Amino acid sequence: MLQQVTLSIDGAQVEAVRGTSVLDVAVEYGICIPHLCHIPSLSDFGGCRLCVVELIENSRSKVTTSCTLLVQDDMVVRTNTEKIRKLRRNIAELLVAQAPNSRAIQDIAVRCGVSQVRYPFRNESCVLCGRCVRLCTELWSARAIGFVGRGKDRHVDFPFGVRPDVCKQCQACVQHCPMTITPCDGPMEPGEERLCGKCEAQLLIAESAPDSCIWCELGVGFGCARHAS
């Protein structure tokens, strides 16, 4: 039998099955925690850091990623404190500076309240969210791609940079890549990167209710778990 636990998310008492993550539970209950690297049914590794929450233990708070935080009885989690909003905004700002040519990331930046980007734009084509790697490894068991190198040289690649026979060219990695949808105005050339901010009109409700899921259209772009389920 599935064991139920009761925990508090943003003051609401919610019931959840032991073994699920706080992110999954929150999304299921309509509490918005922005996330990028999380795909339902795949393992989580806390790569994008967007889903940070405050875990309150013994009247002290600890910031941790909710996708790797498993629910426990009497857990107290806050997803929308001033501290978390600030951290999340900064993470989204860094992501959009790293890869402005992604509608998914531009959307997340808007959702997280980024109004200006203080970091130099890098215009990279990867944010190392690892969606493709985990899909290939876990869902298809193909293990054709993986992380190579480390530190600033870390990137996703085939073994020796050559497509191996185990790759069936199923394109699942491409379909789930947040970089494949370009911003509405088309790709930005190096030197003309900017914060798109086009979707602000959609977010008038979001501003008044940053903590609850409003089924925003943005979720469609980056494959928010709420839309996937």
Closest CA to 109 of 24, 193, 228: 193
Q: Which is nearer to other proteins, 143 or 226 (CB)?
A: 143
For the CB of residue 206, give the shortest distance to other proteins in the complex, in Å.
39
Q: Which of 30, 72, 147, 205 binds other proteins (CB under 8 A)?
A: 147
Query: Residue 137 is which amino acid?
Result: T
Residue of the chain from 19, 30, 40, 164 that contacts other proteins (CB under 8 A): 164
Contact between 172 and other proteins per CB under 8 A: no
98: Cβ contacts below 8 Å, ≥ 6 apart: 122, 124, 127
Distances (CA, A) of 161 to 146, 152, 164: 11, 18, 9
Site for other proteins contains 160 (CB under 8 A) = yes
Q: Check binding of 145 to other proteins (CB under 8 A).
A: yes
Handedness of CA 52, 208, 36, 101 (dihedral sign): negative
Least Å from the CB of residue 81 to other proteins: 36
Name which of 174 and 205 has its Cβ closer to other proteins.
Answer: 174
Q: Using CB under 8 A, which residues numbered 196 to 215 contact other proteins?
A: none
Pattern 44-73, other proteins, x by CB under 8 A: ------------------------------
User: What is d(CA 200, CA 111) in angstroms, rounded to the nearest whole number?
Assistant: 8
For residue 220, give both structure tokens: 């469609």
